[in-house]
Amino acid sequence: DRLAADHVLPEAFGAEASALFKQVKNIQIVACGTSYHAGMVARYWIESLTNTPCQVEVASEFRYRHVAVQPGTLFVSISQSGETADTLAALRHSKDNNYLGSLAICNVGTSSLVRESDLVLLTRAGPEIGVASTKAFTTQLVGLLLLTLALGRAQNSLDTEQESSIIAALRNLPKILNDTLALSTSIEQLAQCFAEKHHALFLGRGEQYPVALEGALKLKEISYIHAEAYPAGELKHGPLALVDSEMPVIAVAPNNDLLEKLKSNLQEVSARGGQLFVFADSSVPFIEDTQTRVIKVPSIHPTLAPILYTVVLQLLSYHVAVLKGTDVDQPRNLAKSVTV
Ligand code: F1P
């Protein structure tokens, strides 16, 4: 609610930020793990809504390579903890190059990342108890959408009607997310189909591809089921070979202009006997059959769909992990903050 009431407008960024945003010609986003997936979603938003080129890279690679920096590039780091060693090293590495400035999107106000960046957007998700990032991710997405709007405003590149519809949808987001949480019981039932599985495939298109990546990461992290994610259109270039009646395939299907393409990709899965689990916008007629389970999720503005579909995939991983009896908050081999 706090996000909806106070932090929803691009004015969340101050005058200093707006002045800098006017000069931005390019964006470089760097992060690790779940935060990296948030950056991948943001690239779709930034490029489609503001027409500003944007690159996204994992910090563990970025920090060690020579980067050809375009003039006017803003360096954006994303981190829940603000102490992830690779992300911090990437920020320090960026200072040797000619960036316009640095912006940290972070959940911990006292962290090193915040202290060392020129501009900061705090996500205010509150303390994350579990190792696997969940509410930090959804607030990062909201922060990145605000960044996109603030950038577009500063550069006069936003379509005003589109901007108003996104702001209205952001205000309604807490309500829609609450309605979505009510799906928990049906997702818990669905989770039974995964408890004995060793592999799973996640599919999405456009900005839902990073959502699929995040869904797969959550399932790996907390239930130890091997999961892969692909852009649905990439299936035919290899992963289709994995599909048989034992392979659960999870797809995220918001009501957007890629829906028909996604549906035809899903038919390729059905034709190979794959088991489909489709999280679909409730306004979209998706046919259930013996191979296809459809979970209807509340309708949402297409731009905000990554936020909502992430939550249903988080719920799925959570219920699978609980069924399997793994430690949801403290998965084996992982640390909350990777500081070395
Ligand atoms: C990055 C991250 C998390 C992951 C785990 C290990 O952390 O990869 O996304 O869930 O906790 O670290 P951060 O930089 O976002 O704090």
For residue 144, tell me if it sits in a domain.
Answer: yes
Query: Residue 281 carries which side chain, given as an amino acid letter?
Result: D
Atom of ligand 1 nearest to the CA of 336: 11
For residue 88, tell me if it sits in a domain.
Answer: yes
For residue 242, tell me if it sits in a domain.
Answer: yes
> Is there a single domain that holds both residue 93 and residue 185?
no
Q: What is the pTM of this model?
A: 0.94
Q: Which of 126, 158, 190 is the last residue of a domain?
A: 158
Number of domains in the chain: 2
Atom of ligand 1 nearest to the CA of 35: 15
Asked if residue 143 lies in contact with residue 119, where contact means CB atoms within 8 angstroms, the answer is no
pLDDT of residue 336: 73
> Is there a single domain that holds both residue 137 and residue 201?
no
> Is there a single domain that holds both residue 134 and residue 184?
no
For residue 340, tell me if it sits in a domain.
Answer: no
pLDDT of residue 8: 43
> How would you list the strands of the sheet with 226-231, edge to edge?
226-231, 199-204, 248-253, 275-281, 292-297
pLDDT digits (tens, 9 = 90+) for 162-191: 999 999 999 999 999 999 999 999 999 999
DSSP per-residue codes, 26-59: EEEEEE-HHHHHHHHHHHHHIIIII---EEEEEH
∠ CA 167-255-285 to the nearest 5 degrees?
A: 140
> Is there a single domain that holds both residue 146 and residue 202?
no
For residue 21, tell me if it sits in a domain.
Answer: yes
Nearest CA to ligand 1 atom 11: 336
For residue 209, tell me if it sits in a domain.
Answer: yes
pLDDT of residue 4: 37
pLDDT of residue 5: 36
Beta strands in the chain (DSSP E): 26-31, 54-58, 73-79, 101-106, 119-122, 199-204, 226-231, 248-253, 275-281, 292-297
> Is there a single domain that holds both residue 266 and residue 134?
no
> Is there a single domain that holds both residue 186 and residue 111?
no
Measured CA to CA, the distance from residue 160 to residue 32 in angstroms comes to: 33
pLDDT of residue 12: 62
Domain that holds residue 97: 2-158
Residue 324 annotated in active site: no
> Is there a single domain that holds both residue 187 and residue 153?
no
> Is there a single domain that holds both residue 281 and residue 226?
yes
Question: For the domain that residue 96 is a member of, what is the CATH number?
Answer: 3.40.50.10490
For residue 98, tell me if it sits in a domain.
Answer: yes
> Is there a single domain that holds both residue 81 and residue 35?
yes
ipTM above 0.90, yes or no: yes
Task: Provide residues with CB under 6 Å of ligand 1.
Answer: 32-35, 79-81, 84, 87, 131-133, 334, 336-338
Which parts of the chain register pLDDT below 70? Answer: 1-12
**Separation of CA 35 and ligand 1 centre (Å):** 7
> Is there a single domain that holds both residue 125 and residue 35?
yes
Nearest CA to ligand 1 atom 14: 79
**Separation of CA 170 and ligand 1 centre (Å):** 25
For residue 333, tell me if it sits in a domain.
Answer: no
> Is there a single domain that holds both residue 137 and residue 255?
no
> Is there a single domain that holds both residue 259 and residue 133?
no
Catalytic residue among 263, 296, 324, 336: 336
